[in-house]
Amino acid sequence: MSYKNNEAIIKSPPFCKNYADTFLQIHKGEGVYLTDTSGKTYLDFGSGIAVNALGYGRQDLAEIGYEQMKKIIHISNLYTTEPAVKLAEALTSSGDFAAVHFGNSGSEANEAAMKYARLYSLKKKGEGHHKLLYFSNAFHGRTMGALSVTANPKYKSSFEPLIPDCHMIDYNSVEQLTKLKAPKEYAAVIVEVVQGEGGLVSLTEEMVQGLNSFCAEHDVILIADEIQTGVGRTGHIYASIEAGLNADIITLAKPLAAGLPLSATLIPAKIDDLLHPGDHGTTFGGGPVTTALAQKVWEILTDKDFLKSIREKEAFLKDLLSSHMEEMGLKGEIRGKGLLCGLVLNSITAEKIPVLLNACRKNGLLLLRSGANVIRMAPPLVINEKELREGVNILFNTIKEIEK
């Protein structure tokens, strides 16, 4: 094992082997830039996988966290605190929601959503109406329930058998949806409006209408997984509402507490009215520090002018990408919504994606992958046009390098 605090590249630290064996060790962040332990700086186009929406090194957030920690850090959900109540009020007033369950991660939020859906279905339709429907290329988490409605076999095969009666159809296939056998036996449909890990493909208008009709006709709970898209990432508070999806439940997590663990499962009155103490719970979810921070995050990210600025940055970024593609004679496709943007280039195959991402890192740009061959860009939402231009320039200069 090689481990020294001043090394930028750490080899074989004592982490579980389900991660890589070599890591870039980050020391600090400021704005949209990260600095490793050797002093090298990187422009961050990944924001901790769409988590650090407000960037790094913010004094206002640090002060909120510090002041709350001086008061109380943890109290359990046998009690509550003012930050948790205020955040719950803000979240439930953002749509047709009666209540929120706080958790610690996106997987937990989706687990809660599926549990609530099954409880509703059991009490309203009786036994035998517990099936869960999900879609090809979906990713909803790594816990056993969330994994059961995640599509990629590489995440699932080592842990089977998973939860029974979880059924998959093709994403955006209205035909397969309408031909499902015994549709009333389904408790829930869980769907991403933009598939964050599945190639940044978006729901079509036809599929949105099909899902709305299917769930309304058969009294099936429609769950919108907005772990990656929610709270401003797409230029709207909720991508699902903007798309016209009539979701009963919305799940949130990534940007909610500025990098600290917090998730939210937003539920309607028809589910909340059926719940009793002990039906679900959490030890750490909704703690006073995370919810105090989340109040400030929510205030900033849901501001109308801020959301408008994200949509403007989306247009600027996509224009930049198109211009560079045209200048270099590259064929491909630009996907995604807001500042969850995907670039597919015909010349950059799935095998070349790791080569490109590593080369970009060496050149000072951190990027993500989505699906097999999609370059995923999810920078902090506070990024400006100059920084977007800098990142795109690094990306395409690196493409020139590896294509020589």
Same domain, 285 and 348: no
Do 130 and 203 sit in the same domain of this protein? Answer: yes
Task: Say if 155 falls within a structural domain.
Answer: yes
The reply to whether 93 falls in a domain is yes
Closest CA to 243 of 219, 264, 224, 228: 224
Same domain (yes/no): 291, 322: no
> Would residue 1 count as lying in a domain?
no
Is 80 exceeded by the pLDDT of residue 349?
yes
> Whole-number mean pLDDT of the chain?
96
Same domain, 291 and 310: no
Q: What confidence tens digit (pLDDT) does each residue in 75-98 have?
A: 988 999 999 999 999 999 999 999
Omega before 161 within 30 of 0, i.e. cis: yes
Residue-range definition of the domain harbouring residue 146: 72-301
CB 129 within 8 A of CB 121: yes
Q: Specify the amino acid at residue 103.
A: G
Residue 63 belongs to some domain of the structure: no
* Per-residue pLDDT at 2 exceeds 80: no
Whether 4 is covered by a domain: the verdict is: no
Last residue of a domain, one of 274, 301, 328: 301
Number of domains into which the chain is organized? 2
Give pairs for 320-327: CB < 8 Å, separation 24+: 320/388, 320/389, 320/392, 321/392, 324/392, 324/395, 324/396
> What's the confidence (pLDDT) of residue 20?
82
List Cβ neighbours of 157 (8 Å cut-off, separation of 6 or more): none
CA–chain centroid gap for 64, Å, is 24
Question: Does 318 reside within a domain?
Answer: yes
Structural domain includes residue 227: yes
The mean pLDDT of 263-275, rounded to a whole number, is 99
Residue 81, helix vs strand vs coil: coil
pTM of the model: 0.96
Domain end residue (candidates: 285, 301, 317): 301
Domain boundary among 301, 332, 353: 301
CATH number at residue 131: 3.40.640.10
Domain match, 47 and 102 both: no
Q: Are residues 336 and 293 in the same domain?
A: no
Confidence at residue 7, expressed as pLDDT on a 0 to 100 scale: 66
d(CA 254, CA 54): 12
State whether 174 and 81 are in the same domain: yes
| Crossing angle of helices 304-328 and 288-301, rounded to 10° | 70
Mean pLDDT computed over 254-267? 98
